[in-house]
Amino acid sequence: MIKYLALAAIVGIAAGTAQAASPWPSKVTGKWSGGANEDQVTIHITSQASTGNCRQIVGTYTDNTVGGSSDILGFYCPATGRIAFRRSTTGTTAAFQNYTANLSLQGSTVYMGGVFSENATAANVGEYAFYAYK
Amino acid sequence: MIKTLAILAVATASLAAGAAQAAQQWPASIVGNWAAIANQSSLTVSITSQTGGETCNQIAGTIGSDTLLGFYCPGSGRFNFLRSNSPSGTYQAYTGNLSETVTGNVVMTGTFADYIDNPQGEASFIASPAE
Protein backbone atom coordinates (compact mmCIF):
# COMPACT_ATOMS: atom_id res chain seq x y z
CA MET A 1 0.00 0.00 0.00
CA ILE A 2 2.78 2.42 0.94
CA LYS A 3 4.53 1.55 -2.33
CA TYR A 4 1.42 2.52 -4.35
CA LEU A 5 1.00 5.79 -2.47
CA ALA A 6 4.65 6.69 -3.10
CA LEU A 7 4.27 5.89 -6.80
CA ALA A 8 1.09 7.97 -7.01
CA ALA A 9 2.86 10.88 -5.34
CA ILE A 10 5.76 10.71 -7.79
CA VAL A 11 3.41 10.58 -10.78
CA GLY A 12 1.42 13.49 -9.37
CA ILE A 13 4.53 15.61 -8.89
CA ALA A 14 5.79 14.74 -12.36
CA ALA A 15 2.46 15.67 -13.94
CA GLY A 16 2.35 18.94 -12.00
CA THR A 17 5.90 19.78 -13.00
CA ALA A 18 5.23 19.09 -16.67
CA GLN A 19 2.13 21.29 -16.62
CA ALA A 20 3.89 24.15 -14.87
CA ALA A 21 6.93 23.97 -17.12
CA SER A 22 5.17 25.08 -20.31
CA PRO A 23 2.01 27.05 -19.54
CA TRP A 24 2.77 29.63 -22.21
CA PRO A 25 3.16 29.26 -25.98
CA SER A 26 6.63 29.49 -27.47
CA LYS A 27 5.44 31.97 -30.13
CA VAL A 28 2.90 34.78 -30.31
CA THR A 29 2.97 35.45 -34.03
CA GLY A 30 -0.41 35.64 -35.73
CA LYS A 31 -3.59 37.72 -35.55
CA TRP A 32 -5.13 38.59 -32.19
CA SER A 33 -8.59 40.08 -31.62
CA GLY A 34 -9.23 42.21 -28.57
CA GLY A 35 -10.22 45.43 -26.91
CA ALA A 36 -8.31 48.44 -25.64
CA ASN A 37 -10.40 50.76 -23.47
CA GLU A 38 -13.43 51.58 -25.67
CA ASP A 39 -12.07 50.27 -28.98
CA GLN A 40 -12.05 46.90 -30.70
CA VAL A 41 -8.59 46.11 -32.03
CA THR A 42 -6.68 43.59 -34.14
CA ILE A 43 -3.03 42.96 -33.35
CA HIS A 44 -1.00 41.25 -36.04
CA ILE A 45 2.38 40.04 -34.77
CA THR A 46 4.30 39.32 -37.94
CA SER A 47 7.68 38.26 -36.54
CA GLN A 48 9.31 37.02 -33.35
CA ALA A 49 13.06 36.64 -32.82
CA SER A 50 14.21 33.07 -32.29
CA THR A 51 16.68 33.53 -29.42
CA GLY A 52 16.91 35.17 -26.01
CA ASN A 53 14.87 34.93 -22.83
CA CYS A 54 12.67 37.70 -24.17
CA ARG A 55 12.35 37.90 -27.95
CA GLN A 56 11.70 40.94 -30.09
CA ILE A 57 8.31 41.06 -31.77
CA VAL A 58 7.21 43.26 -34.67
CA GLY A 59 3.82 43.82 -36.19
CA THR A 60 0.84 46.07 -36.75
CA TYR A 61 -2.08 47.28 -34.64
CA THR A 62 -5.44 48.12 -36.16
CA ASP A 63 -8.13 50.07 -34.32
CA ASN A 64 -11.34 48.66 -35.78
CA THR A 65 -13.55 51.15 -33.95
CA VAL A 66 -12.06 54.43 -35.12
CA GLY A 67 -10.03 53.03 -38.01
CA GLY A 68 -6.34 53.33 -38.73
CA SER A 69 -3.28 51.18 -38.36
CA SER A 70 -0.09 51.56 -36.33
CA ASP A 71 3.26 49.84 -35.96
CA ILE A 72 4.21 47.84 -32.86
CA LEU A 73 7.64 46.85 -31.55
CA GLY A 74 8.27 44.96 -28.34
CA PHE A 75 9.17 41.62 -26.82
CA TYR A 76 7.66 38.35 -25.67
CA CYS A 77 9.21 36.12 -22.99
CA PRO A 78 8.17 32.47 -23.61
CA ALA A 79 9.33 31.32 -20.17
CA THR A 80 7.10 33.76 -18.27
CA GLY A 81 4.34 34.72 -20.70
CA ARG A 82 5.24 38.41 -20.37
CA ILE A 83 4.63 40.63 -23.41
CA ALA A 84 5.19 44.33 -23.92
CA PHE A 85 5.20 46.60 -26.95
CA ARG A 86 5.13 50.21 -28.02
CA ARG A 87 2.59 51.58 -30.49
CA SER A 88 3.67 54.24 -32.98
CA THR A 89 2.21 55.81 -36.08
CA THR A 90 2.96 53.68 -39.15
CA GLY A 91 6.44 54.32 -40.45
CA THR A 92 7.58 56.23 -37.34
CA THR A 93 9.41 55.16 -34.17
CA ALA A 94 8.22 57.65 -31.54
CA ALA A 95 5.52 55.83 -29.59
CA PHE A 96 2.30 57.33 -28.27
CA GLN A 97 1.08 54.28 -26.34
CA ASN A 98 2.73 51.39 -24.46
CA TYR A 99 1.23 47.95 -23.77
CA THR A 100 2.20 45.45 -21.06
CA ALA A 101 0.41 42.17 -20.44
CA ASN A 102 0.72 38.51 -19.57
CA LEU A 103 -0.48 35.52 -21.53
CA SER A 104 -2.70 32.75 -20.21
CA LEU A 105 -4.22 29.67 -21.75
CA GLN A 106 -7.72 28.25 -21.56
CA GLY A 107 -8.13 25.20 -23.73
CA SER A 108 -6.84 26.07 -27.19
CA THR A 109 -7.41 29.82 -26.75
CA VAL A 110 -4.51 32.04 -25.77
CA TYR A 111 -5.37 35.23 -23.88
CA MET A 112 -3.34 38.40 -23.45
CA GLY A 113 -4.45 40.60 -20.53
CA GLY A 114 -2.91 43.78 -19.19
CA VAL A 115 -2.88 47.56 -19.46
CA PHE A 116 -1.86 50.20 -21.95
CA SER A 117 -0.68 53.71 -21.25
CA GLU A 118 -1.64 56.78 -23.24
CA ASN A 119 1.37 59.08 -23.20
CA ALA A 120 0.94 61.60 -25.98
CA THR A 121 -2.59 63.02 -25.86
CA ALA A 122 -2.49 65.29 -22.82
CA ALA A 123 -6.22 65.18 -22.15
CA ASN A 124 -6.29 61.37 -22.03
CA VAL A 125 -2.99 60.42 -20.39
CA GLY A 126 -3.23 57.48 -17.99
CA GLU A 127 -3.62 53.72 -17.98
CA TYR A 128 -6.47 51.69 -19.42
CA ALA A 129 -7.46 48.01 -19.63
CA PHE A 130 -6.40 45.92 -22.58
CA TYR A 131 -7.00 42.31 -23.67
CA ALA A 132 -6.63 40.14 -26.75
CA TYR A 133 -7.08 36.51 -27.71
CA LYS A 134 -6.40 34.11 -30.55
CA MET B 1 -18.20 52.96 30.85
CA ILE B 2 -15.45 55.54 31.08
CA LYS B 3 -12.94 52.86 30.08
CA THR B 4 -15.03 51.98 27.00
CA LEU B 5 -15.25 55.63 25.95
CA ALA B 6 -11.51 56.01 26.37
CA ILE B 7 -10.84 52.99 24.15
CA LEU B 8 -13.24 54.36 21.51
CA ALA B 9 -11.50 57.73 21.64
CA VAL B 10 -8.10 56.13 21.10
CA ALA B 11 -9.46 54.02 18.23
CA THR B 12 -11.05 57.05 16.58
CA ALA B 13 -7.83 59.04 16.91
CA SER B 14 -5.87 56.17 15.34
CA LEU B 15 -8.25 55.95 12.40
CA ALA B 16 -8.06 59.71 11.87
CA ALA B 17 -4.26 59.61 11.95
CA GLY B 18 -4.25 56.74 9.46
CA ALA B 19 -6.60 58.56 7.13
CA ALA B 20 -4.51 61.74 7.23
CA GLN B 21 -1.37 59.76 6.47
CA ALA B 22 -2.99 57.98 3.52
CA ALA B 23 -4.37 61.22 2.08
CA GLN B 24 -0.91 62.78 1.77
CA GLN B 25 0.89 59.76 0.44
CA TRP B 26 1.77 61.20 -2.96
CA PRO B 27 3.14 64.59 -3.94
CA ALA B 28 1.04 66.90 -6.11
CA SER B 29 3.98 67.51 -8.44
CA ILE B 30 7.02 65.48 -9.45
CA VAL B 31 8.69 68.27 -11.43
CA GLY B 32 12.41 68.40 -10.65
CA ASN B 33 15.56 66.30 -10.87
CA TRP B 34 15.58 62.67 -9.76
CA ALA B 35 18.65 60.48 -9.22
CA ALA B 36 17.77 57.12 -10.74
CA ILE B 37 19.15 53.63 -11.12
CA ALA B 38 17.74 51.66 -14.05
CA ASN B 39 19.09 48.12 -13.98
CA GLN B 40 22.89 48.72 -14.03
CA SER B 41 22.80 52.39 -15.10
CA SER B 42 22.80 55.52 -12.95
CA LEU B 43 20.76 58.26 -14.60
CA THR B 44 19.34 61.69 -13.97
CA VAL B 45 15.64 62.03 -14.66
CA SER B 46 14.64 65.67 -15.16
CA ILE B 47 10.91 66.27 -15.23
CA THR B 48 10.52 69.78 -16.59
CA SER B 49 6.74 70.03 -16.96
CA GLN B 50 3.59 68.51 -15.51
CA THR B 51 0.46 69.83 -17.16
CA GLY B 52 -3.02 69.12 -18.43
CA GLY B 53 -5.05 65.97 -18.15
CA GLU B 54 -7.82 65.28 -15.68
CA THR B 55 -7.02 62.49 -13.24
CA CYS B 56 -3.46 62.21 -14.53
CA ASN B 57 -1.14 64.97 -15.74
CA GLN B 58 1.16 64.78 -18.73
CA ILE B 59 4.88 64.97 -17.86
CA ALA B 60 7.82 65.80 -20.13
CA GLY B 61 11.55 66.11 -19.67
CA THR B 62 14.76 64.16 -20.12
CA ILE B 63 16.25 60.90 -18.91
CA GLY B 64 19.99 60.78 -19.39
CA SER B 65 20.50 62.37 -22.80
CA ASP B 66 17.12 61.15 -24.10
CA THR B 67 13.62 62.62 -23.97
CA LEU B 68 10.77 61.36 -21.81
CA LEU B 69 7.02 61.75 -22.30
CA GLY B 70 4.38 60.27 -20.04
CA PHE B 71 2.05 60.95 -17.13
CA TYR B 72 1.81 61.20 -13.37
CA CYS B 73 -1.40 60.70 -11.38
CA PRO B 74 -1.32 62.70 -8.11
CA GLY B 75 -4.35 60.78 -6.79
CA SER B 76 -2.67 57.39 -7.03
CA GLY B 77 1.07 58.02 -7.30
CA ARG B 78 1.16 56.17 -10.62
CA PHE B 79 3.71 57.25 -13.21
CA ASN B 80 4.59 56.10 -16.70
CA PHE B 81 6.89 57.53 -19.33
CA LEU B 82 8.46 56.58 -22.65
CA ARG B 83 12.18 57.10 -23.31
CA SER B 84 13.11 58.10 -26.86
CA ASN B 85 16.07 59.25 -28.88
CA SER B 86 17.17 59.41 -32.48
CA PRO B 87 17.48 57.16 -34.43
CA SER B 88 15.97 54.48 -32.13
CA GLY B 89 12.73 56.31 -31.43
CA THR B 90 10.97 55.04 -28.33
CA TYR B 91 13.11 52.21 -26.99
CA GLN B 92 12.23 52.01 -23.28
CA ALA B 93 9.00 52.30 -21.28
CA TYR B 94 9.00 53.06 -17.53
CA THR B 95 6.10 52.42 -15.17
CA GLY B 96 5.67 52.35 -11.42
CA ASN B 97 4.46 54.17 -8.34
CA LEU B 98 5.62 56.85 -6.00
CA SER B 99 5.65 56.17 -2.29
CA GLU B 100 6.81 57.85 0.86
CA THR B 101 9.21 55.66 2.82
CA VAL B 102 9.13 58.06 5.75
CA THR B 103 7.51 61.48 5.98
CA GLY B 104 8.99 63.71 3.29
CA ASN B 105 11.14 60.96 1.78
CA VAL B 106 9.61 60.23 -1.62
CA VAL B 107 10.82 57.45 -3.90
CA MET B 108 9.81 56.38 -7.40
CA THR B 109 10.01 52.62 -7.97
CA GLY B 110 8.91 50.30 -10.73
CA THR B 111 10.14 48.60 -13.86
CA PHE B 112 11.23 49.54 -17.33
CA ALA B 113 10.86 47.53 -20.53
CA ASP B 114 13.54 47.64 -23.20
CA TYR B 115 12.47 47.00 -26.79
CA ILE B 116 15.72 47.42 -28.69
CA ASP B 117 18.81 46.90 -26.51
CA ASN B 118 20.03 43.42 -25.66
CA PRO B 119 18.93 41.71 -23.55
CA GLN B 120 15.32 42.73 -24.09
CA GLY B 121 12.83 42.40 -21.27
CA GLU B 122 12.03 44.16 -18.01
CA ALA B 123 14.32 45.32 -15.22
CA SER B 124 13.93 47.32 -12.02
CA PHE B 125 13.98 51.10 -11.71
CA ILE B 126 14.26 53.33 -8.65
CA ALA B 127 14.64 57.09 -8.30
CA SER B 128 14.77 59.62 -5.49
CA PRO B 129 14.86 63.43 -5.55
CA ALA B 130 18.36 64.63 -6.51
CA GLU B 131 20.20 66.64 -3.86
Structural domain total, chain B:
1
Instruction: Report the pLDDT value the prediction gives residue B7, as an integer from 0 to 100.
Output: 43
Is the ipTM beyond the 0.85 threshold?
no
Structural domain total, chain A:
1
Residues B26-43 pLDDT 10s: 899 999 999 999 998 999
Q: Does any domain span residue B83?
A: yes
* Chain A residues whose beta carbon lies within 8 Å of the beta carbon of residue B58: 119, 122, 125
Residues A4-34 pLDDT 10s: 444 444 444 444 444 444 589 999 999 999 9
The overall average pLDDT reported for chain B is 84
Partner-chain residue, chosen from B71, B93, B119, that has the shortest CB–CB distance to A52: B119
Q: Does any domain span residue B64?
A: yes
What is the value of pTM for the model shown? 0.81
Average the pLDDT over each of B40-44, B53-57, B88-92 and give the range with the smallest value. B53-57
Q: Does any domain span residue B46?
A: yes
At residue B117, the 3 state secondary structure works out as coil
Instruction: Work out how many CB contacts closer than 8 A connect A with B.
Output: 95
Mutate to test the interface with B, among A119, A127, A128, A130 (most CBs of B within 10 A): A119
Instruction: Report the pLDDT value the prediction gives residue A58, as an integer from 0 to 100.
Output: 98
Q: Does any domain span residue B5?
A: no
Q: Does any domain span residue A109?
A: yes
Instruction: Report the pLDDT value the prediction gives residue A5, as an integer from 0 to 100.
Output: 44
CB contact under 8 A, A93 and B87: yes
CATH code, A84: 2.40.128.30
* Residue A44 · residue A59 · CB < 8 Å: yes
Locate all alpha helices (DSSP H) within chain B, ordered by sequence.
2-23
Residues A28-50 have a mean pLDDT of 97
Domain hosting residue A60, numbered range: 26-133
Q: Does any domain span residue A63?
A: yes
Q: Does any domain span residue B12?
A: no
Among candidates B129, B127, B131, which has minimal Cα distance to B37? B127
* Chain A residues whose beta carbon lies within 8 Å of the beta carbon of residue B30: none
Question: Would you state the torsion angle of the CA atoms of residues B72, B108, A53, B41, taken in this order, to the nearest 10 degrees?
Answer: 120
Q: Does any domain span residue A123?
A: yes
At residue A121, the 3 state secondary structure works out as coil
Q: DSSP strand E in chain A: where?
A: 30-36, 39-48, 55-63, 69-77, 82-89, 95-106, 109-118, 126-133
* Chain A residues whose beta carbon lies within 8 Å of the beta carbon of residue B55: 126
* Chain B residues whose beta carbon lies within 8 Å of the beta carbon of residue A59: none
The overall average pLDDT reported for chain A is 88
* Chain A residues whose beta carbon lies within 8 Å of the beta carbon of residue B115: 56, 73-75, 84-86
Residue B72 has pLDDT above 60, yes or no: yes
Q: Does any domain span residue B106?
A: yes
Among candidates B32, B30, B24, which has minimal Cα distance to B75? B24
Q: Does any domain span residue A120?
A: yes
CATH code, B72: 2.40.128.30
Domain hosting residue B98, numbered range: 26-129
Q: Does any domain span residue B6?
A: no
Q: Does any domain span residue B8?
A: no
Residues B75-87 pLDDT 10s: 999 999 999 999 9
CB contact under 8 A, B52 and A125: yes
Q: Does B33 touch chain A (CB under 8 A)?
A: no
Q: What is the Cα–Cα distance from A95 to B66, expressed in whole angstroms?
A: 14
